[in-house]
Amino acid sequence: MQKHTVTIGIFALFAVIAGLAQAGLLTPYHVSVLMFMGVNIMLATSLNLVNGYMGEFSCGHGGFMCVGAYVSSICTVLMFSKNQMLGAPLLPGYLTFIGFPVALLVGSLAAAVAGLVVAIPSFKTRGDYLAIITLAANYIVISAINNMEIFGGPRGFMGMSATENGMKAVLDIPWMLIFVMLGTLFTVWLLRRFVTSTLGKGVPAISQDEIAAEIMSVDTNRMKLIAFMLSSGLAGLAGGLYAHILGYVNPQSFDIMRSTEIMVMVYLGGMGSLSGTALAAILFTVLMEALRFLGVWKWVVIPLLLILLMQFRPEGLMGNKELSDLFPKLRKYYSFK
């Protein structure tokens, strides 16, 4: 029984949330906050692999999210909706159940390939210079999309809502919420499996001492390649979901501000703690909504928060501990793999 408590618990929670949303007990606003929470968890945990576990400083995560968002949006629009550039839908609406996950997959693969732009220079450089490379990658992605008139350029790209409508035509339940929850679960599960695996142990080894890791037979270049591509691929998945939640994307929403938001979540939660980052992402999303009344001042308060965090508790809320390290008694009730 212990073996399955977490699995059962998570799926029960998902069922309850979806049920509440279906019954109309959650307003559309709450549902959208929940969905952004899921997307933020995905983004923050995937960035944590690079910034936390590997100890690099990647500040262009928004760029990879952008690649994922655009590629998967283009796929679904091509398949399921009418667009003046890309023509009539190629597939009937009921195939969205297959088409949407495939589009998400394509988007995350594209983002993973974009991650190569950062991964390959990371063989030779690290630290500040790598940070600049990630930043440049972010700007390059944004300005490349700004220059692609076929996908709307700076005006943005739309038509993704046809996908959810196609699914709702078959069965009217909150599909997007379900996909976001599954995506979040998949991301956290995959990252956890990866960092606790024998292969994944190489990632914190690079963070602690790259040369020693190399001597201990860790293939550092390969590890970096895997870590960067996995991280950017999952960011692409999050981007794909984000685009389909909104039904509309524009390049400005993936700029340095977005990357900063993700970094705030990672450093708030603690580098090298998946549960900490996930909690921080939830906290941050709630905080963003709660601080909405501040308007522009919100973006003064959030950087200030991070500055204070760096001054007084630079390791973040949880440091590099997981929830089960802080509350060892919890372990009695479950075993999580």
Partner 1 sequence: MEIFQHILNALQFGSFYALIALGYTLVYGVLRLINFAHGDIFMVGAYIAFFVAVSLLGTGGLPLGLEMNPALALAITVPVTMILTSLVGVALERTMYRPLRRKGANRLYVVITALMAGLMLENGNLALLGATRKSFPDLIDKVVWNLGDGVSVTNLKVIVIVAAIAVFLFLETIVSKTKIGMAMRGISYDKFAIPLMGIPLDTIIVFTFILGSSMAGLAGILFAMSYPILEPYMGALIGWKAFIAAVVGGIGDIRGAIVGGFLLGFIEIGVVAVFPSTLRDLFAFSVLLIILWLRPTGIFGVAQTTKI
Binding site for partner 1 (CB under 8 A): 57, 59, 117, 120-121, 124-125, 127-129, 131-133, 135-137, 139-140, 143-144, 146-147, 211, 256-257, 260, 263, 267, 295-297, 299-300, 303-304, 306-307, 310-311, 314
Cβ 271 vs Cβ 315: under 8 Å: yes
**On the CB side of 273, how many CA atoms lie within 13 Å of its CA?**
25
| Residue 265 beta carbon to partner 1: minimum distance, rounded to whole angstroms | 13
What residues pair up with 4 in beta bridges, in sequence order?
none
Cβ 41 vs Cβ 234: under 8 Å: no
Name the DSSP class of 316. T
Instruction: Please give the Cα distance from 160 to 250 (Å, whole number).
Output: 13
Between 169 and 257, whose beta carbon lies closer to partner 1?
257
Between 154 and 247, whose beta carbon lies closer to partner 1?
154
Between 43 and 181, whose beta carbon lies closer to partner 1?
43
Q: What angle do CA 172, 7, 332 make, to 5 degrees?
A: 150
DSSP string, 216-235: TT--HHHHHHHHHHHHHHHH
| Residue 163 beta carbon to partner 1: minimum distance, rounded to whole angstroms | 30
| Residue 109 beta carbon to partner 1: minimum distance, rounded to whole angstroms | 22
| Residue 225 beta carbon to partner 1: minimum distance, rounded to whole angstroms | 15
Between 37 and 137, whose beta carbon lies closer to partner 1?
137
| Residue 37 beta carbon to partner 1: minimum distance, rounded to whole angstroms | 23
